[in-house]
């Protein structure tokens, strides 16, 4: 475990530690000399960095690699950054130093997921869910995957935590509205974000795969589910299969939010709002985590919500998260 993290980098300190190279751009100074504009990260956050007069080896370092950074923490135009003196790629490191993880126990969440799958009473819908989660290697990747790269559930295990929350909300909604197809809604909730296992990479940092950038998790997820439907020994009726696929494709609600289509069924509409409620609530808690650490009653305006937010009494600071 390394002994210096991004959260420890105060103005004036020197650093000689490992960081993940999150981004690297070659730029030109006013003098015409080139320099590297970098972003360094670990499990506690990220910080910009700059390296003047880089060598060809420095310029060739791949994004996502782990590097030994030697330099000093400075402030330029009000922004804290690392003025790098040397960068060296390393092969030996502990992944948990670079990937934040949630506070919930992974095995406990997997047990909750299995219980929710059993609550899908319609046998063919339940078979679809089991076929997706039972595919070789899938559940391990799903359980480790974050739900995003930044705004909500951006930590190891985040996708599993988000899926359980959305499915639980959907069960409550199904109990409140008698004309909802409970099994269809619950199956859609459990499967709505499975495409994120192909959209996101999370080896030394969180980023998008080529498929994630070019296609996106909504369509990737619908493809995973469609393949599972086609592989069933006892076929799912076409109308139910179509409604399940629609709910997954429409769960972002609006086209400008990445939905190929808008919700046109009650189940799709409820799934969209359940997904949004959990994402927004998690983003809220993340936005107030810094104020919670300082025991402040309100956050500042720099949150993604664009306004001060009232800190809940039991908000869990992001800095208290451990690693998987």
pLDDT in tens, 119-178: 999 999 999 999 999 999 999 999 999 999 877 898 999 999 999 999 999 999 999 998
Domains of the chain plus CATH, in order, are: 6-97 (2.40.50.140), 106-286 (1.10.3210)
What pLDDT, on a 0 to 100 scale, did the predictor assign at position 250?
Answer: 97
Q: Decide: 124 and 236 in contact? Cβ < 8 Å.
A: yes
Going by the DSSP 8-state scheme, the letter that residue 236 receives in this structure is: P
Q: Could you give the CA distance from residue 138 to residue 164 in angstroms, rounded to a whole number?
A: 17
> Which residue, among 66, 70, 77, 30, has the nearest Cα to 51 in the 3D structure?
70
Helices 106-118 + 182-191 axis angle, to 10? 150
* pTM of the predicted model as reported, rounded to 2 decimal places: 0.81
Share of the chain above pLDDT 70, in %: 96
Helix residue ranges per DSSP H, the chain: 56-59, 106-118, 123-133, 138-144, 158-176, 182-191, 196-199, 210-214, 217-230, 238-249, 266-287, 289-293
Amino acid 319: pLDDT: 41
pLDDT exceeds cutoff 80 at 200: yes
> Mean pLDDT over residues 248-252, rounded?
97
Q: Mean per-residue pLDDT for 69-96?
A: 91
Flag whether pLDDT at 299 surpasses 90: no
Mean pLDDT of the chain: 91
- Are 201 and 98 in contact by the 8 Å Cβ rule? The answer is no
Using a pLDDT cut of 90, give the percent of the chain over it.
69
pLDDT value of residue 315: 57
C-alpha to C-alpha distances, 230 to 129, 132, 148, 225, 234, nearest whole angstrom: 13, 11, 29, 9, 10
Residue 296: per-residue pLDDT: 87
Give pLDDT, residue 323. 42
283: helix, strand or coil: helix
User: DSSP characters for 58-89?
Assistant: HHTPPTT-EEEEEEEEEEETTEEEEEEEEEEE
Residue with more model confidence, 152 or 204: 152
């Amino acid at each position: 475990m390394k002994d210096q993290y991004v959260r420890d980098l105060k103005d004036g300190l020197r650093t000689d530690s490992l960081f993940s190279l999150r981004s690297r751009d070659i730029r030109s100074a006013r003098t015409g000399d080139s320099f590297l504009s970098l972003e360094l990260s670990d499990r506690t956050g990220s910080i910009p960095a700059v390296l003047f007069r880089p060598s060809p080896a420095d310029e060739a370092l791949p994004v996502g690699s782990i590097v030994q950074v030697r330099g000093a923490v400075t402030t330029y135009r009000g922004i804290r950054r690392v003025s790098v003196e040397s960068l060296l790629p390393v092969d030996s490191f502990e992944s948990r130093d670079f990937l934040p993880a949630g506070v919930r126990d992974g095995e406990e969440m997997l047990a909750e997921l299995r219980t929710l799958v059993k609550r899908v009473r319609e046998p063919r819908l339940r078979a679809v869910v089991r076929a997706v989660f039972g595919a070789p290697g899938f559940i391990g990747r799903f359980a480790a995957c974050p739900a995003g790269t930044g705004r909500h559930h951006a930590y190891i295990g985040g996708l599993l935590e988000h899926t359980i929350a959305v499915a639980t909300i959907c069960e409550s909604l199904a109990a409140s509205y008698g004309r909802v197809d409970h099994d269809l809604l619950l199956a859609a909730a459990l499967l709505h974000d499975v495409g994120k296992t192909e959209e996101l990479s999370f080896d030394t940092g969180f980023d998008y795969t080529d498929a994630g950038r070019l296609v996106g998790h909504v369509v990737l997820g619908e493809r995973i589910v469609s393949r599972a439907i086609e592989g069933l020994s006892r076929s799912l009726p076409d109308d139910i299969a179509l409604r399940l696929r629609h709910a997954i494709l429409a769960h972002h609600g609006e086209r400008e939010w990445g939905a190929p289509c808008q919700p046109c069924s009650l189940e799709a509409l409820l799934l969209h709002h359940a997904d949004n409620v959990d994402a927004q609530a998690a983003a809220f808690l993340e936005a107030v985590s810094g104020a919670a650490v300082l025991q402040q009653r309100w956050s500042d305006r720099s949150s993604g919500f664009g306004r001060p937010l009232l800190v809940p009494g039991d908000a869990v600071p992001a800095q208290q998260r451990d690693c998987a």
